[in-house]
Amino acid sequence: MKFNDMLKKKKKENTDTPENLTDVTNDTNPVEEQEQNEETQQAAPEPSAEDKFKEELALANDKYLRLYAEFDNFRRRTIKEREDARKLEGKDLIVSLLSVLDDFERGIKAMETATDVIPVKEGVALIQHKLKNILAQKGLAEMEAIGQPFDADIHEAITNIPAPTDDLKGKVVDQMEKGYTLNEKVVRFAKVIVGS
């Protein structure tokens, strides 16, 4: 029994000191233990093909959902930006016309106390000239119609009258309403009277 007591004492000392990691009662050496650990690691089950496909499917599904959410956010943002742009698309024109509106208000105040008609007429003519200049800067142009050959693409014939002279047959004799183009596109047809 002395031998067993000594063995227990030695075993206790080995567990107390970390320097000596080998166990006296253990018959295997550290190299054999390492080989056994490697064998158990190799013996660990590898994921099956079905598990791999499930994992790939989950990743693909996650990517799809993220991409769909990103596209949906992009679509919503684009719609909102378009709505904002539509609301403000005439802003530049309106801001430039505010000075004309102010001129009309000043003209109305001046008409209340005016005793002479000539300065009022001149003021209205100046306001009209200012308005035409602002619209011309934005690309609006008047169409010349009187004396021009009738063109259904830019003119709207209201009626025909006998031509005063032979050279006015098929041409615009009079204009009831001016036509306008915006950046060379017709925005309002000229309403004209054609000679026959």
DSSP state of 171: B
DSSP β-ladder status, 140-142 and 155-161:
unpaired
Whether residues 155 and 195 fall in one domain: yes
pLDDT digits (tens, 9 = 90+) for 38-74: 655 555 567 788 888 999 999 999 999 999 999 999 9
Check whether residue 161 and residue 175 sit in a common domain. yes
3 state DSSP class of 53: helix
> Is there a domain that residue 16 lies in?
no
The pair of structure tokens assigned to 150 is: 């009738």
Q: Which residue among 138, 157, 173 closes a domain?
A: 138
Residue-wise pLDDT tens digits, 9-43: 666 665 555 544 444 444 555 656 666 666 555 55
Domain co-membership, 129 together with 115: yes
Cα 4 to Cα 7, 11, 46, 129, 145: the distances in Å are: 5, 10, 45, 122, 128
In a domain, 156, yes or no: yes
Taking alpha carbons only, the member of 97, 123, 98, 100 closest to residue 110 is 123
Q: What is the pLDDT of residues 160-173, one digit of tens each?
A: 888 888 888 888 88
CA 73 to CA 50: how far, in whole Å? 34
Identify whether 171 is part of a domain. Answer: yes
Structure tokens at 2: 């002395």
Prediction pTM value? 0.54
Residue 162 in domain: yes
The range of the structural domain enclosing residue 172 comes to 141-196
Residue 178 within any structural domain of the chain: yes
3-class SS at 189? coil
If asked whether residues 89 and 117 sit together in one domain, one would say yes
Structural domain tally of the chain? 2
Domain CATH code at residue 169: 2.30.22.10
Beta bridge pairs of residue 194: 160, 172
Pick from 103, 119, 138: which residue ends a domain?
138
